[in-house]
């Protein structure tokens, strides 16, 4: 497998954690977002959406969208399971993952921040306030939805943890204070102690700055 990834892309980070947890070997193909490589015609042939990540399977299929990729990996390589067996618990885990991947991250990613600057003249301060607003909106609700730890939904790592850790990383990057989110911070601290999370971290990637 080949993962089109960028060290700082938090959607790529989610998939890297899944691959590491399941012990799957893959080649990293770096797509440096800082020079807009993800918007190139050559990358468009890999992923028509021109976003990261994309996972190229050995049979030639290319999968896109981080949560769809993680669910695929969980279905084909079920050990360890990233979704509980019970349908209601699965829905609860997916809801937390989707609060982050639908309602926080797309509002704050590189493309959106760029559009806010070009279209509305947003400066660094305004961008950071905007970013913080969506993180607080999402984290306030997630803080109410988490269950006793050490992970987001108990003893087993789930898709929710794969989304929380990269989003906490992003919050730190933009200096968003997280003191109100004691449960989220505890989940982040527990998960980052796991070797798979460490292997997937931005600073551990071959293309880290």
Query: Which residues contact a second copy (rule: CB under 8 A)?
Result: 48-51, 57, 61, 63-65, 67-69, 71-72, 75-76, 87-88, 90-92, 94-95, 98-99, 101-103, 105-107, 112, 115-116, 119-122, 126, 129-130, 133, 138, 140-141, 144-145
Complex with a second copy: residue 71 or 188, whichever CB lies closer: 71
Note whether 82 and 74 are within 8 A (CB): yes
d(CA 63, CA 26): 14
- Please choose, from the candidates 146, 185, 148, 193, the residue with its C-alpha nearest in 3D space to the C-alpha of residue 167: 185
Strand 62-64 with 27-30, pairing: unpaired
Kindly state the DSSP code that residue 209 receives in the 8-state scheme.
-
Peptide bond into 196 cis (omega under 30): no
Shortest distance in whole angstroms from residue 203 CB to a second copy? 26
Complex with a second copy: residue 79 or 195, whichever CB lies closer: 79
Complex with a second copy: residue 22 or 94, whichever CB lies closer: 94
Shortest distance in whole angstroms from residue 175 CB to a second copy? 18
Shortest distance in whole angstroms from residue 162 CB to a second copy? 15
Shortest distance in whole angstroms from residue 195 CB to a second copy? 26
Complex with a second copy: residue 68 or 204, whichever CB lies closer: 68
Neighbours of 92 (CB within 10 A): 19
Residue 123, φ and ψ in degrees, nearest 5: -90, 180
Shortest distance in whole angstroms from residue 103 CB to a second copy? 5
Complex with a second copy: residue 50 or 191, whichever CB lies closer: 50
Complex with a second copy: residue 61 or 175, whichever CB lies closer: 61
Shortest distance in whole angstroms from residue 183 CB to a second copy? 13
Note whether 1 and 24 are within 8 A (CB): yes
3-class DSSP state of 30: strand
Note whether 81 and 91 are within 8 A (CB): no
């Amino acid at each position: 497998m080949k993962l089109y990834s960028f060290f700082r892309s938090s959607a790529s980070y989610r998939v890297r954690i899944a691959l590491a947890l399941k012990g799957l070997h893959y080649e990293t193909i770096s797509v440096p977002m800082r020079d807009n490589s993800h918007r190139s015609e050559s990358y468009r042939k890999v992923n028509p959406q021109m976003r990261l990540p994309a996972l190229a399977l050995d049979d030639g299929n290319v999968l896109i969208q981080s949560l769809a990729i993680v669910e695929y990996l969980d279905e084909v390589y079920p050990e360890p399971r990233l979704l509980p067996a019970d349908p209601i618990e699965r829905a609860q885990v997916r809801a937390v993952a989707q609060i982050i991947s639908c309602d926080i991250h797309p509002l704050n990613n590189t493309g959106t921040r760029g559009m806010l600057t070009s279209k509305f003249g947003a400066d660094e301060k305004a961008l950071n306030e905007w970013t913080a607003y969506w993180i607080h909106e999402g984290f306030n609700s997630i803080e109410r939805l988490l269950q006793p730890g050490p992970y987001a939904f108990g003893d087993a790592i789930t898709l929710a943890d794969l989304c929380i850790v990269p989003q906490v990383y992003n919050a730190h990057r933009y200096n968003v204070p997280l003191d109100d989110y004691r449960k989220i911070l505890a989940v982040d601290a527990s998960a980052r102690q796991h070797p798979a999370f460490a292997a997937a971290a931005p600073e551990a990637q071959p293309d880290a700055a």
